């Protein structure tokens, strides 16, 4: 189950054209980060293994963000964001394909 989070704009962000993610609950509450490089491993396409790196934007409590636990949490968030993107894109495609042509 994914922890609660939201996307935020942050003046300290590394990538100006990308949102930051703020974790809203649990051990890592208050941590703000950005995904950096995201790809699917070429040798594991059938399983859809995501590889990603991230940039810490804010970590006010100096939490250890190198743990497997943190990486699983932000991996789950990334998976949810990607799935949500494709659901929305599918809805838009269905809407646009049902509109009458001019």
12 close to 22: Cβ distance less than 8 angstroms: no
pTM of the model: 0.77
pLDDT of residue 57: 94
Q: How confident is the model at residue 88 (pLDDT cuts 50, 70, 90)?
A: confident
> pLDDT tens, 7-38?
988 777 787 777 899 999 999 999 999 999 88
pLDDT at 45 over 60: no
| Helical segments of 1-102, H only | 68-98
Domain positions in the chain: 5-98
Average pLDDT, the chain: 84
Q: How confident is the model at residue 73 (pLDDT cuts 50, 70, 90)?
A: very high
């Amino acid at each position: 189950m994914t922890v609660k989070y939201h996307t935020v704009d942050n003046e300290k962000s590394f990538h100006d054209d990308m949102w930051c993610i703020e974790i809203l609950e649990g051990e890592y509450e208050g941590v703000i980060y950005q995904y950096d490089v995201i790809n699917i491993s070429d040798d594991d396409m059938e399983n859809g293994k995501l590889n990603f790196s991230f940039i810490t934007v804010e970590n006010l409590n100096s939490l250890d963000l190198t743990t497997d636990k943190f990486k699983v949490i932000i991996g789950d968030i990334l998976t949810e964001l990607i799935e949500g993107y494709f659901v929305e894109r599918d809805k838009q495609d269905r809407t646009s394909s049902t509109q009458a042509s001019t």
